[in-house]
Structure 1
Amino acid sequence: MLTRVADPHTSHQTDFMTETETIAYDVVVLGAGPVGENVADRTRAAGLSTAIVESELVGGECSYWACMPSKALLRPVLARADARRLPGLSQAVRGPLDAAAVLARRDEYTSHWHDDGQVRWVESIGADLYRGHGRLAGKRTVTVTGADGEVRTLTARHAVAVCTGTRARLPDLPGLAEAGPWTSREATSAKEVPRRLIVVGGGVVATEMATVFQALGSQVTVLVRGKGLLARMEPFVGELVAEALTEAGVDIRTGTSVESVTRENGTVIAATGTGDRFEADEILFATGRAPRTDDIGLETVGLEPGSWLSVDDTLRVEGTTWLYACGDVNHRALLTHQGKYQARIAGNAISARAAGVPLLETDPWGAHSATADHRAVPQVVFTDPEAAAVGLSLAEAERAGHRVRAVDVDLSSVAGASLYGDGYRGRARMVVDLDEEILRGVTFVGPGVGELLHSASIAVAGEVPVERLWHAVPSYPTISEVWLRLLEAYRG
């Protein structure tokens, strides 16, 4: 038990610790978000005793401040947008959204920021949950400091898995800290809709939150340092999303860097490098993520605090035999679903090594494979229009040295698009490897395209030959018929 007492001979406090029991497990997991939960689930299923440590809410960033609340906020926005495109329904949905009801529904999706249900799930798999701050304290050792100051020591016979995720990264700007900026957490948990909102950034968080708050009634200004939105996707994606946001009333300024931020009498003022000043009630910085590894004891095992953790394809940290890193912290793909995939792979690898079973590295397609494949990383951006992509963009494929060809199709030419109503705008691209005759990447943008993505993921991950795709017949009339149009365009 760590106890603080006043030293009678000094003006400061000193710490002393009485001996506590050291508790041994097969596996200790740092972080009880979706990634850590999946590691624990796999190792418990293999019969390994597992402890999971969490300093905040069980369920992690995704459940309370990212995936779930953001999509709960976006769903009414996108449903209204779809309805407004349909004759016979459009006139019925011309009024404003009920912002209070949208926020209340978001609260339900986050369980009002209570994690009782998630805790019950951890208990149901037989893992032991420790609440508190977990830190490495040497090889295969973790200390957990609880809110009451009590310290427990956990040891791991086989593995420690770091699944602590990321936090929003704020730039070092004059006046920013004092101005009280929003990050993704404040945006997704907002209790009120600001009358004016500045969004700094042009990526996924920036575009999704601009979509939400404009629809809920904010006057939104987006300040983008680069040339456009969603720069990591095909260029036409950002162009279509920017066009739709602009039509909705969002003011998008590209090539604009924020140099300082101040708050005067409740008003936020952002000054840019071009001398412009933008005023708002709140300012959201969506300018990247940093790993939550700065205070988890990495220095005790020879690693740099605050660093991304480099891993091999079994998700084991390079240079170690017992430390694993899954999800955002290894910087391979900052996506919840990809982190959960990595967690399943890591759980398989830990369990196999614990049992002395050879890893199935020669069989990457096996259900119990213990090596991760990152060639087909999927992502959906829930803007209006939606954007979805898997694998490599054309530029990425060319940089990787592949001889490729991009095949583009206007999604509005597909019969199923007409079911979405008037004025459907969208585009699809597949990047074909001309030597292997397989797909290196696929991108869609348009209403409803998120549901198209898994078919593309299967094609890319499975390296399905283009000729075989001809025999995967899309149903009529659905927008999945875009596959037929793409193949026809490729054949010429």
Structure 2
Amino acid sequence: MTDSGTPQHTEYDVVVIGAGPVGENAADRTQAAGLSTAIVESELVGGECSYWACMPSKALLKPVLTQADARRLPGLAPAVSGPLDAAAVLARRDSFTSHWKDDSQVEWVNSVGVALHRGTGRLAGPRTVTVTAPDGTETTLGARQAVVVATGSRAVLPGLPGMDTARPWTSREATSAQSVPARLAIVGGGVVAVEMATAWQALGSRVTLLVRGAGLLERMEPFAGELVAQRLGEAGVDLRLRTSVAEVSRDSEDGPVTLTLGDGGTLQAEEVLFATGRAPRTEDLGLETVGLEPGTWLDADDSCRVKGTDWLYAVGDVNHRALLTHQGKYQARIAGAVIAARAQDADVDASPWSPHQATADHAAVPQVVFTDPEATSVGLTLAEARAAGHRVRAVDQDLGSVAGAALYGDDYTGRARMVVDEDHGFLRGVTFVGPGVSELLHSATVAVAGEVPLDRLWHAVPAYPTISEVWLRLLEAYRG
């Protein structure tokens, strides 16, 4: 049954599986275009981002970064020299998740006229979705125009000995824990690992970060991981590079977890977080009923339609194009426009700037890592641009030498890089690392996504004295 008591067999123009931010955007767009739309959710309406990812993690991190910024300012530093009030930080985090209740999200779904079906949605052939409610009731939904899969991804745990009884944390437990573990081991060197190391170390944990590779944030410019690693060490995190985990064990319900390392050594902690990758939530989606393989990423074209079909769309993490909430919402807006156009037998514009084509998730993907310092990037790194065959040049700038950064805080440490396409005269990528740089990123995104010529960027004058003056310094360095 649905929240509104609709019958067990019903038809809509569009059925969306997954009511996270991505699925909500897709449903909103098709409903607004005049297509009757249903959305199916097996957990909380609002999805991973609202309850276990973006919102709670950033609520944990904001006090940490604010305190770090304040400590860089003479006259203010003594007032914030003490530890954070962990209970208050956790309580504020809980408020941002609405205490893991989705009443307000359900109210929004109802307000836009989308029908909500609670339960597990599975494909049952072309344009057909079955919904199994928590009480076992089964409803069959028909989709006259399209089915949109927005089921996202889940954390992957490695198959190590002892994992079945060690009760490890994934990102969900790391962002929703109700108390601060005295010791926390984190396995991984990516975004989740470094953000949670930043948060829990500041909240009072003794954090050990175990990284199999040679550095952190290896998908960004090398200096990003280097600067974040330096600050984590200064904050007290025990960072161990080139370190693997061979086994885990927990001998009692309340006892610590023991990690056996690849070199034979051991490490004990109250909790261990594995931040070691994501997998698509498609293993129980009924893909086999439409000739696709369960548990795989869905291969979608630039209109977000699953290749080989004329009715199935995949948006967000599940299509593996860019595993970021904002990129998934962007894809959902594209898919909604495409479905509406095709429903009216209208031509779908295939040009790069078309509202019917997702192109920004290829070469203009913005990302912020909310550590101290913040690490932000959009587009290609220098290595990626060269590997793609572009003739490029990297231009670097010490952010600490910019007047606005010096005013931001004493001993400001940061770096900026732009990757210039020498043949076309525009930017392939930009990276900023430093306190407070996240708000610089959209200007870089506009430059990269819009392929703005450098000759035009000279006339985009940054205000003085702001950190954004780094744009002028980068352009000056490029011209020599």
TM-score category (smaller protein):
over 0.9
In the alignment, what sits opposite 2:346?
357
User: Residue in 2 aligned with 1:400?
Assistant: 388
CA contact (8 A) 1:133 1:144 kept: yes
Whether the 8 Å contact between 1:184 and 1:286 is mirrored in structure 2 is yes
Distance in structure 1 (CA, Å) of the matches to 2:402 and 2:109: 45
Cα root mean square deviation, aligned: 0.9
Provide the C-alpha distance between the structure 1 equivalents of 2:459 and 2:28, rounded to a whole number of angstroms: 38
Q: Which aligned segments of 4 or more residues in structure 1 are displaced greater than 2 angstroms?
A: 368-374
Counterpart among 406, 428, 436 of residue 418 in structure 1: 406
For 1:57, the equivalent position in structure 2 comes to: 44
Is 1:166 paired with 2:153? Answer: yes
Name 1:32's counterpart in structure 2: 19
Helix, strand or coil for the counterpart of 1:307? coil
CA displacement at 1:63 relative to structure 2: 0.1
In the alignment, the residues of structure 2 paired with residue 296 and residue 489 of structure 1 have an alpha-carbon distance, to the nearest angstrom, of 52
1:119-268 superposed matches below 5 A: 119-265=106-252, 266-268=255-257
SS, match of residue 236 in structure 1 = helix
Deviation at 1:373?
Answer: 3.1
Please point out which of 332, 335, 338 is paired with 2:324: 335
Do the aligned residues in 1 keep the contact of 2:335 with 2:356 (CA within 8 Å)? no
Aligned 8 A contact 1:342 1:372 in 2: no
Cα pair 2:303 2:356 within 8 Å, conserved: no
Counterpart selection for 1:443 from 423, 431, 444:
431
How far has the Cα of 1:276 moved from its partner? Answer: 1.6
Kept after mapping to 2: 8 A contact 1:378/1:388: yes
Letter in 2 for 1:358: D
- Asked whether the equivalents of residues 361 and 371 of structure 1 are also in contact (C-alpha less than 8 Å), the reply is no
Structure 1: how far apart are the matches of 2:357 and 2:462?
A: 33
| Residues 326-351 of structure 1 deviation map (CA, whole Å, 9 limit, x = unaligned) | 00000010000000000000000101
Indicate if the aligned counterparts of 2:22 and 2:316 stay in contact, CA closer than 8 A: yes
Counterpart residue identity of residue 229, structure 1: L
Partner residue, 1:430: 418
**2:304 matched to 1:311?**
no
After superposition, give the CA deviation of every residue in 1:420-475 in whole Å (9 maximum; x if it has no partner). 21110000000000000110000000000100000000000000001110000000
Q: Are the aligned partners of 1:268 and 1:283 in contact in 2 as well (CA < 8 Å)?
A: yes
Measure the CA separation in 1 of the matches of 2:81 and 2:164.
40
Superposed displacement of residue 419, structure 1? 1.7
Q: Tell me, what secondary structure is at the counterpart of 1:106?
A: helix
Query: Which of 413-422 and 106-115 deviates more?
Result: 413-422
The amino acid across from 2:267 in the alignment is F
Count of residues in Structure 1 that have an aligned counterpart in Structure 2: 472
Q: Hey, what's the Cα distance between the residues in 2 that align with 1:127 and 1:384? A: 41
Q: 1:253 to 1:371 in 2, by over 3 A?
A: closer
Given candidates 272, 287, 297, the residue that maps to 2:276 is 287
- 2:54 corresponds in structure 1 to 67
CA offsets per residue over residues 7-66 of structure 1, 9 Å max, x none?
Answer: xxxxxxxxxxxxx74201000000000000000011011000000000000000000000
* 8 Å contact from structure 2 (residues 284, 295) kept in 1: yes
SS of residue in 1 equivalent to 2:130 = strand
1:347 has 2:344 as partner? no
Structure 2 residue corresponding to 1:457, chosen from 438, 445, 453: 445
Specify which of 409, 423, 431 is matched with residue 397 of structure 2. Answer: 409
SS at match of 2:377: strand
Q: Deviations over 1:211-263 (max 9, x none)?
A: 00000000000000000110000000000000000001000001111110011
TM-score in terms of structure 1 length:
0.95
Report the Cα distance in structure 2 between the residues aligned to 1:62 and 1:51, rounded to whole angstroms. Answer: 21
Distance in 1, Cα, partners of 2:35 & 2:12? 8
One-letter amino acid matched to 1:236: F
Q: Which structure 2 residue ranges, 5 or more long, are not aligned?
A: 2-6
Equivalent residue number for residue 479 of structure 1 = 467
| Partner SS state of residue 447, structure 2 | helix
Matched with 2:4 is: none
Aligned partner (choices 76, 79, 91) of residue 92 of structure 1: 79
Report the Cα offset of residue 360 of structure 1: 1.8
State the secondary structure of the residue aligned to 2:207.
Answer: strand
SS at match of 1:444: strand
Distance in 2 of aligned mates of 1:343 and 1:213 = 33
CA distance in 1, matches of 2:445, 2:54: 20
Percent identity, aligned pairs only, is: 73
> What is the letter of the counterpart of residue 269 of structure 1?
T
Gaps of 5+ in 1: 2-19
- Say whether residues 1:491 and 2:466 are aligned partners: no
Larger deviation: 417-426 or 387-396? Answer: 417-426
Mapped contact 2:8–2:138 kept (Cα < 8 A): no
Name the SS for the 1:138 alignment partner.
coil
Task: Say if 1:406 and 1:430, in contact at 8 Å, map to a contact too.
Answer: yes
The answer to whether the 8 A contact 1:42-1:348 is kept is yes
* SS of corresponding position for 1:51: strand
Check whether the contact 1:224–1:254 (CA below 8 A) recurs between aligned residues: yes
Q: Write the letter of the residue equivalent to 1:34.
A: P
What does residue 45 of structure 1 align with? 32
Instruction: Give, as a single letter, the amino acid of the residue that structure 1 aligns with 2:112.
Output: I
What is the Cα deviation at residue 365 of structure 1?
Answer: 2.5
Preserved contact between residue 360 and residue 371 of structure 1 (Cα < 8 Å): no
Counterpart secondary structure, 1:406: strand
C-alpha distance in structure 2 between counterparts of 1:370 and 1:428, whole Å: 31
Distance 1:22 1:115 in 2: 26
For 2:376, give the aligned amino acid: A
Q: Deviations over 1:298-325 (max 9, x none)?
A: 0000000000000100000000000000
Quote the Cα distance in structure 2 between the aligned partners of 1:164 and 1:329.
Answer: 6
